[in-house]
Structure formats: C-alpha cells, structure tokens
Amino acid sequence: MRRYRIFEPPAAEGRTEGAHFLRDGFRPFALVLPSLWLLRHKLWFWAVAAFAAEVAVKVAVPEGGMPLAAILSLLVGVLVALEGPSLRARRLLRRGWREAGAVWARDERDAELIYFAGETTEPEQPTMVPPSPTEARSPLRPGPSLFDFRSA
C-alpha cells in the first residue's frame, strides 16, 4: 500500500476530476538521475541546484577519490529520491492548489476510487506552538530550529 496525497485545483469546490494524485515515497529514478527527475517534474530551481551539487562534488574531489565522489553523488540522489515528492507538493501549494487529503491505496486508480467515494483522511496542518515568554530558554538553544517545524 502506498500513500497518495490529493490536490484539488484552485477553482474547484469539492470532489473534482481535475484532482492530482501525488504518490508519497522513495523514487528510484530520482536516485539514479536526480537532475533529470527534477527537470521531468518541472522543478527548475532544484534541478539546477542538484546539478550544481553534482558538478561541485566532481570538481572538489581529488583525482584519486572516485569512491568519495560516487558516495557524495549518491547522497545527492538519495536526498532527491526522498524529498522529491515533497518538493512537487510544495509547488502545487504555491500555485494555489488545495490539499484535499490523503489515501492509502495500491495504485493511482484505487486512490481515485477511494477519493471519489469520499473516504479520504484530512491533511495534517503544520503547526508550531510558540514558546511562552515566561519560559526560560536554554542558552544552547536560542529559538526555534528547522526541526521544530513539521514537514509539509
């Protein structure tokens, strides 16, 4: 079973055939060719950043450090393979699409059936509770960090 996030177009109200189903999870093609996978999904900025990271790895590693270059390139691929679907979801949200929910299904066809049957779970809204002003802060941790926010 796979998790599918469901996005509805900006002008849509309720269930619509224009809904987009985005499968969450690891993408093997993105592991092998991260820049091409990002280009395929029109994530231009991230494709250029991944390509630049790969070029920087090849240039920065000394001539005899081929295994190190391969490991660092693989790390870029792993990052894209794991976070690529989240980048696609953020792009849809920036364009005004609304996240309608999520379903667990075997494939996209089953996800559509579940969506039109009205059995989706509501999307989790990322929230961060600000610390109260009376709470003493540790000098080692001055404020909220990246890890205090929940993933979108």
Confidence of residue 78 (pLDDT cuts 50, 70, 90): very high
For the segment 79-101, the average pLDDT, to the nearest whole number, is 91
| CA–CA separation, 121 and 5 (whole Å) | 10
Which of the 8 DSSP states describes residue 57?
Answer: H
The reported pLDDT for the residue numbered 152 is 44
Could you write out the three-class secondary structure of 33-90? CHHHHHHHCCCHHHHHHHHHHHHHHHHHCCCCCHHHHHHHHHHHHHHHHHHHHHHHHH
pLDDT of 34 reads 93
| Rounded CA separation 118/99 (Å) | 14
Rg (CA), the chain: 20
User: pTM score, two decimals?
Assistant: 0.70
* Residue scoring higher pLDDT (145 or 113): 113
45-51 average pLDDT score:
94
Give the residue among 149, 147, 145, 92 at the shortest CA–CA distance from 125: 149
Phi-psi region of 97 (alpha: psi -120 to 50; beta: other; left: phi over 0): beta
